[in-house]
Amino acid sequence: MEFYKTLEMWYLNNKRDLPWRKSSNPYFVWLSEIILQQTRIQQGLSYYNTFTNHYPTVLDLANAKEDNVLKNWQGLGYYSRARNLHFSAKYICNELDGKFPTTYKEIIKLKGVGDYTASAIASICFNEKTAVVDGNVYRVLSRYFNIDIPINSSKGIKYFKELAQELIINANPKEYNQAIMDFGSMVCKPQNPNCENCPLENGCLAKAKNMISSLPVKEKKIKIKNRYLNFIVFTNGEQTILEKRTGSGIWQNLYQFPLLEFDEIATQKELIKKPLLKDYNTSTIKLFNPEPWVHKLSHQHLFTQFWIVDTQNISQTNSVHWENIDNFAVPKLIHKFLDSYKTK
């Protein structure tokens, strides 16, 4: 049986029951695909439900405030996805008359939508023959055809996309694209793939050559940078100060306590040299966590300390009542602090 047919047959009997598969409404499929970028289904599922409940249509999403969209995205990470989702919803409503684009070529123009996502939506919703190439597809194809071209090299990206596109030619694109991804995540897994019960085992070159565990090949490891962040938690008992992160780094447009960054773990002595704290008596500045909390991002390790500053002088501009603080979208780290601080 041909490669595509085997996968389609497997999918028929093994596909997972997922909420976004109940409809081919491109808005719902788009939502699910953005949420699932670099994210496990288990992690994204509740967010999908939140978004479809809060924003049942693309117009509801377009009419929302970005702060609200980010609040609903809080905790999921890669927050540019939420910002781009919101941006694109407005684009669809304002420029496309509220009609979701129907071809790969038009769909990929949406911010936050690249080759993979455009292929997924175009095939799943409009049955266009555009092959998806995600992490699962890289793994399945590199193993089945025993290809050791690094999947994150420009050569590899081109090679696998072309191969995937050849394999979909005679397939039912909607079924086949989802089949190869489900198959990759359930059978041809990164670790301990289930080769014993694999319907593709006969033709699998990596299996024959005992290469399964070394494929796919990925080159370049990321370099992790250490940062030392000190969050200043001003409080008069009722209010505190929050500021919105701007610029291009992590957590863009989320909220945090005023931040002082150093090249190493800071002491109170160094802290009070900063303009933000120079007028405060050292006795009013207390370190909340004597042992720095290490928050690990994919590219950075953040060594973080929270300093509580008791003061009656809370500026009106960025003041927030403690009782309202949960209305703000904050990074996981800040949320962890709030949890810990409240229960103290």
Partner DNA sequence: CATGCGTGGGA
Partner DNA sequence: TTCCCAAGCAT
Among positions 54, 244, 274, 295, the unique one binding DNA when judged by CB under 7 A:
295
Residue 18 binding DNA, by CB under 7 A: yes
Single out the residue of 297, 310, 322, 341 in contact with DNA (rule: CB under 7 A): 297
What region, left, alpha or beta, does residue 91 occupy, with left being phi > 0 and alpha being psi -120 to 50 degrees? alpha
Catalytic, out of 8, 33, 128, 175 = 33
Output 134 or 175, the one with its CB closest to DNA: 134
12 binds DNA (CB under 7 A): no
Q: Which stretch binds DNA (CB under 7 A): 90-98, 109-117, 228-236, 307-315?
A: 109-117
Among 3, 8, 30, 33, binds DNA (CB under 7 A): 33
Which stretch in 49-57, 59-67, 74-82, 265-273 sits in contact with DNA by CB under 7 A?
A: 74-82
Number of helices followed by number of strands (H, E) in the chain: 14, 9
Q: Is 134 in the site for DNA (CB under 7 A)?
A: yes
Told to check if 26 binds DNA by CB under 7 A, we report no
Tokens representing 185 are 């995540």
In the list 145, 201, 332, 341, the residue contacting DNA (rule: CB under 7 A) is 332
Nearer to DNA by Cβ, of 134 and 308: the residue is 134
Interface with DNA includes 116 (CB under 7 A)?
Answer: yes
Contact between 40 and DNA by CB under 7 A: the answer reads: yes
Give yes or no for a contact between 44 and 35, defined as CB atoms under 8 angstroms apart.
yes
Residue pair 37/115 in contact by the 8 Å Cβ criterion: no
Stretch binding DNA (CB under 7 A), from 50-58, 235-243, 255-263, 298-306 = 298-306
Alpha-carbon span 319 to 264, nearest angstrom:
29
Name residues whose C-beta falls within 8 Å of residue 329's C-beta, 6 or more positions apart in sequence: 67, 70, 71, 73, 74, 253, 254, 255
Per-residue burial over 132-160, b = 16 or more CB atoms within 10 Å of its CB, e = otherwise: bbbbbbbbbbbbbbbbeebbeeeebbebb
**What letters, b where the CB count within 10 A reaches 16 and e where it falls short, cover 93-109?**
beeeeeebbeebeebbe
Would you list the DSSP string of 44-70? HHHHHHHHHHH-SSHHHHHHS-HHHHH
Phi-psi bin for 259: left (phi > 0), alpha (psi -120 to 50), beta? beta
Quote the least distance from Cβ 240 to DNA, whole Å.
Answer: 20
Task: Please say if 238 is a catalytic residue.
Answer: no
Among 26, 173, 193, 331, binds DNA (CB under 7 A): 331
Rule CB under 7 A: is residue 301 a binding residue for DNA? no
Kind and range of the H or E element at 266? none
Q: Which of 53, 95, 196, 221: binder of DNA (CB under 7 A)?
A: 221
Return phi, psi of residue 56, to 5°.
Answer: -65, -25
For the bound state, the minimum distance from the C-beta of residue 236 to DNA, rounded and expressed in Å, comes to 28
Are residues 337 and 343 in contact, defined by beta-carbon separation less than 8 angstroms?
no
Any contact of residue 77 with DNA (CB under 7 A)? yes
| Residue 98 binding DNA, by CB under 7 A | no
- Asked if 171 and 8 touch (Cβ cutoff 8 Å), the reply is yes
Active site residues: 33
Contacting positions for DNA (CB under 7 A): 16, 18, 32-33, 36-43, 75-80, 84, 110-118, 120, 134-136, 139, 152-154, 178, 181-182, 184-185, 190-192, 218, 220-223, 225, 248-252, 295-300, 331-333
